[in-house]
Structure 1
Amino acid sequence: MLPEICFSAESEDQKTLLDKVLTEQKFLSPVNRKCSAWAAALACQNISVIAVVKDHLGVPTENEQRELLFAVSRMSVTNPYFVSRGIIDLQAGGTLDALCFRSFSTIKVSNEIAYHYACIAVSIVNGGHACFHSHCSSLKQLGETDQAIDQALRISAALMAARQIAFNQTAFF
């Protein structure tokens, strides 16, 4: 049995936000909402948060799982790498090729928009500001609205709050 996240009176606002951004607000398409939430949950590395997403949105399809794993795996490298490079001026590296990444066309992502949403979700959790900015710019270039992008940001924030609430439960109880 998975530990359930118990939202207390002190976290009622976070529960409301979580429910609204996952199920009520429709700025994001259902697939983009699902990919954003699953990517953030995977990056949170908390089984209770994953259970919340599964309960609200279901399990990703096999292809969605494949593309989520690409996004999460790639951001686990690029987020800390490019954050670090932003602090120091180096005359070497600084490219995806230097990280031994296959090209985007080689990995054959079928839903580029959902992939970028997954990348921003992971980058929010990881604090990968350079990657976050790059993937948000890609979404804007692909025609995504500010409202849709903002909903994705709120999904990540709400799931990070759920992770904190789950931790708080173990700290005090």
Structure 2
Amino acid sequence: MSVTIQAVCFSAESEDQEALLDSVLTEQVFLSQANRKMLAWAAALACRDQSVIALVKNCLGALAENEKRELLFAVNRMSVTNPYFVSRGVIDLAAGGTLDALSLRSFEDIKVTNEIAYHYACVGVSMVNGGYNCFRSHSSSLRQLGETDQAIDQALRITAALMAARQISFNQTVL
């Protein structure tokens, strides 16, 4: 028996959030389709809400195997680096503070094929997790790779809209 997960059901009280989500996922084209898909899937996974994941899958499609691989690298790495570097910002330590200290393989070793999409995925996860040190680093990498402020802003709005969808989904379960 399989369980069907319903995507978020937007009510009249959340029509602004629905309009934002629709606009940034389907109408605005500052982000390429591949980067938009990777960012949205990463943010949805970080939201940890089945309805949000279903919404992204319905809007942007399922992931191909190579997309899953790169998405999982981004999400899994941010699950370590976000809390680690946030915590290091609160305490002054003379040890650690590097990716090597976390036993993470180098970026070259994991052989990511779409570096820009990877960084967008990391931006989305870091925004959801509040990992702003990583967020800043990956946003800077995107700029160095030639991404425009409009594209980065679209990524931020997609993530914010998905976080709103998560809140709306939660509201529906308790009210």
Length-normalised TM-score, structure 1: 0.98
Following the alignment from structure 1 to structure 2, what is the Cα–Cα distance between the partners of residues 136 and 158?
18
1:26 to 14, 25, 29: 29
The residue number in structure 2 matching 1:93 is 96
- Kindly provide the CA deviation profile for residues 30-87 of structure 1, in whole angstroms up to 9, marking residues without a partner as x: 0000000000001011110000000100011111110000000000000000000000
* One-letter identity of the residue aligned with 1:136: S
Are 1:60 and 2:88 counterparts?
no
The residue number in structure 1 matching 2:108 is 105
Following the alignment from structure 1 to structure 2, what is the Cα–Cα distance between the partners of residues 36 and 3?
21
Following the alignment from structure 2 to structure 1, what is the Cα–Cα distance between the partners of residues 7 and 109?
40
Structure 1 residues 1-173: aligned runs within 5 Å: 1-172=4-175
| Structure 2: gaps of 5 or more residues | none
Following the alignment from structure 1 to structure 2, what is the Cα–Cα distance between the partners of residues 86 and 108?
29
RMSD of the alignment, in Å?
0.6
* One-letter identity of the residue aligned with 2:33: P
Task: Tell me how far 1:102 sits from its aligned partner.
Answer: 0.4
Task: Tell me how far 1:4 sits from its aligned partner.
Answer: 3.4
| Structure 1: gaps of 5 or more residues | none
Q: Secondary structure at the match of 1:90?
A: coil
Q: Secondary structure at the match of 2:146?
A: coil
Following the alignment from structure 2 to structure 1, what is the Cα–Cα distance between the partners of residues 101 and 112?
21
* One-letter identity of the residue aligned with 2:63: P
Task: Tell me how far 1:3 sits from its aligned partner.
Answer: 3.1
Identity of aligned residues (%): 75
* One-letter identity of the residue aligned with 1:161: A
* One-letter identity of the residue aligned with 1:68: L
Following the alignment from structure 1 to structure 2, what is the Cα–Cα distance between the partners of residues 101 and 122?
17
Following the alignment from structure 2 to structure 1, what is the Cα–Cα distance between the partners of residues 8 and 107?
37
Following the alignment from structure 1 to structure 2, what is the Cα–Cα distance between the partners of residues 7 and 68?
27
